[in-house]
């Protein structure tokens, strides 16, 4: 695309150099620049893209978007100075890739926990019902058999728009996207014409970035307020968790039609008669399209909420309730989300991504309910991130587990001992209903100790990393996959499909109390 056409939507800009240039791509990382690229100098919290402008030029960039003048740039390179490079990036990416979200039906899902599972549920239901759907989130971007790894839960705007363009090329009608609070705050989803916005929940997380729960919650609300105020041929829909305290505020902030789901409070889509068994969850669902009985392969009340949100999205797109039911009941789960690891052992192992207090509590509460023997928990906290949640995480683990083992996660630039000390502060100054805990710096050793402690009927929860395959420490990415470590310690290379009989004995059924109306 010609640079002059690309720049047309930018009203405030100072251009120096030729604009009749053919732009081959847009990049913000100088290491990814190829001949003919437009390089956007993004200021960041760690690195400033302006510092890498020369490297970008040397790699083949023929034009730069900057927020200030750069004296070291050769005179033949076109520079465009703008007030806000990140905002400009979103505008340019939307134009460069042909405004792809104007041709896609876009569904955004935000919340502290449940985004990954809910996006996968929606993707599964839609694809099962002849609505070709792409997905972007923590695990990957995929459409059909095509897949790309993602670096962030929600990619930067130029990657996001490129992904949408790829989806269209692959015949997608819909795209479902995990929308993180960071992405909303940084403007990564600017230019995305969302059709539907979904809230899972808002609980403690990312306060290292947002500083307070009020600011965190307010940032999440942007997805709903940015749906727009116009009512056109394609209605905008806000789907809210009726049991989350922020939902009434979000409902006031959006002009879109609101659909609610929940368990405890009145809702347009509501679950009741919830029973959890070792092999799944059964529930009755009342909706504005009728009533049905669901038998999910997923475990946990948190997955009941995820399923209800997916039902709301599906019904709003005209998929009949009974077809939604069939698709949901066939869904097997998501990698690293309450994932059982069976390799012939006579106790249960659950792998989960839970990395904040609410997520960990949900996982341990469900695991404890379905465990005949003792519950062991291995967990850690990441470095260079929210320190306030560390003691809370430790207290949650020690409160639910019979024995907790605190260990390392992605320590990044921090001292791992310091992170563990922060966690252990949560166990001071009050009784903990637990038989004990310990701290083991080496994560493999921590997992090994938990497996050695477990007996028939026990359960080991390894939390915090889920699908992740590397530990990040001191600027290095060290191969470390909890799943592979567990299988190696058990002397196995594969995961079996059947759970240990000891966990199934007695056919435990847990009745979730009826909601108060």
Instruction: Say which residue the tokens 């001191």 belong to.
Output: 474
Per DSSP, helices labelled H in 292-335 are: 301-316, 321-330
- Residue from 225, 385, 265, 195 nearest 217 by CA: 225
In angstroms, the Cα distances linking 480 to 217, 453, 485 are: 33, 22, 7
First to last CA, the chain: 57
User: Residue 367: what are its φ and ψ, rounded to 5°?
Assistant: -60, -40
Kindly state the tokens that stand for 356. Answer: 């904040």
Q: Which two tokens stand for residue 490?
A: 């058990």
Which residues are annotated as part of the binding site? 30, 111-117, 152-154, 180, 188
For residue 114, the Cα-to-chain-centroid distance in whole angstroms is 7
CA separation for the pair 106, 221 (Å, rounded): 17
Distance CA 408, CA 423 (A): 11
| Residue in 6, 219, 178 with CA at minimum distance from that of residue 94 | 6
Identify whether the C-beta of residue 241 lies closer than 8 Å to the C-beta of residue 200: yes
Rounded CA separation 122/351 (Å): 22
Are 294 and 329 in contact, with CB atoms under 8 Å apart?
A: yes
Binding residues for ATP: 111-117
CA distance readout (Å), 265 to 103, 220, 247, 305, 506: 36, 22, 12, 12, 32
The H-or-E segment that residue 377 falls in is strand 375-381
> 3-state SS of the chain: helix, strand, coil percent to 5?
35, 25, 40
Q: Which two tokens stand for residue 211?
A: 């500083």
Backbone φ, ψ for residue 157 (5° rounding): -60, -35
Say how far apart CA 173 and CA 182 lie, in whole Å: 27
- Closest to 351 measured CA to CA, from 240, 251, 221, 461: 461
Distances from the Cα of 179 to the Cαs of 119, 203, 237, 285, 446, in angstroms? 10, 15, 16, 27, 33
């Amino acid at each position: 695309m010609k640079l002059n056409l690309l720049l047309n939507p930018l009203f405030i800009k100072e251009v120096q150099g030729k604009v009749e240039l053919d732009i081959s791509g847009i990049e913000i990382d100088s290491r990814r620049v190829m001949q003919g690229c437009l390089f956007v100098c993004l200021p960041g919290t760690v690195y400033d893209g302006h510092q890498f402008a020369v490297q970008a030029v040397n790699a083949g960039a023929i034009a730069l978007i900057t927020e200030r003048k750069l004296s070291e740039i050769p005179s033949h390179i076109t520079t465009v100075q703008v007030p806000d490079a990140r905002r400009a990036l979103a505008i340019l990416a939307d134009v460069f890739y042909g405004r792809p979200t104007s041709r896609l039906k876009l569904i955004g899902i935000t919340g502290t926990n449940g985004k990954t599972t809910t996006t996968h549920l929606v993707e599964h239901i839609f694809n099962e019902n002849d609505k070709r759907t792409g997905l972007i989130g923590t695990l990957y971007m995929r459409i059909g058999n095509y897949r790309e790894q993602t670096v962030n839960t929600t990619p930067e705007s130029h990657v996001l728009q490129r992904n949408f363009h790829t989806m269209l090329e692959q015949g997608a009608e819909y795209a479902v996207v995990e929308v993180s609070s960071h992405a909303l705050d940084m403007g990564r989803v600017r230019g995305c014409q969302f059709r539907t916005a979904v809230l899972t929940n808002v609980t403690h997380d990312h306060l290292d970035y947002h500083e307070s729960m009020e600011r965190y919650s307010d940032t999440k609300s942007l997805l709903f307020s940015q749906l727009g105020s116009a009512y056109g041929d394609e209605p905008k829909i806000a789907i809210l968790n009726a049991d989350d305290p922020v939902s009434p505020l979000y409902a006031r902030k959006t002009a879109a039609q609101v659909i609610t789901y929940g368990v405890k409070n009145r809702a347009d889509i509501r679950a009741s008669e919830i029973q959890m068994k070792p092999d799944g969850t059964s529930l009755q669902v009342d909706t504005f399209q009728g009533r049905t009985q669901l038998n999910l392969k997923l475990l946990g009340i948190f997955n009941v909420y995820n399923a209800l949100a997916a039902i709301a999205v599906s019904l709003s797109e005209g998929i009949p309730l009974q077809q939604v039911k069939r698709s949901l009941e066939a869904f097997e789960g998501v990698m690293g989300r309450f994932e059982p690891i069976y390799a012939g052992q006579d106790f249960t192992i659950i792998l989960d991504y839970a990395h904040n207090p609410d997520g960990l509590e949900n996982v341990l509460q469900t695991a404890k309910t379905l465990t005949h023997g003792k519950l062991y928990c291995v967990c850690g906290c990441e470095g260079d991130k929210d320190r306030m949640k560390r003691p809370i995480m430790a207290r949650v683990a020690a409160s639910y587990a019979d024995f907790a083992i605190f260990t390392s996660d992605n320590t990044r630039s921090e001292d791992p001992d310091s992170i563990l000390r922060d966690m252990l502060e949560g166990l001071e100054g009050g009784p903990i209903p637990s038989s004990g805990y310990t701290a083991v710096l080496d994560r493999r050793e921590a997992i090994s100790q938990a497996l050695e402690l477990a007996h028939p009927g026990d359960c080991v929860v390894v939390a915090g990393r889920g699908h992740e395959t590397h530990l990040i420490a001191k600027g290095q990415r060290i191969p470390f996959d909890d799943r592979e470590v567990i299988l190696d310690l058990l002397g196995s290379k594969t995961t079996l499909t059947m759970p240990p009989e000891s966990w199934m004995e007695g056919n435990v059924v847990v009745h979730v109390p009826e909601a108060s109306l």
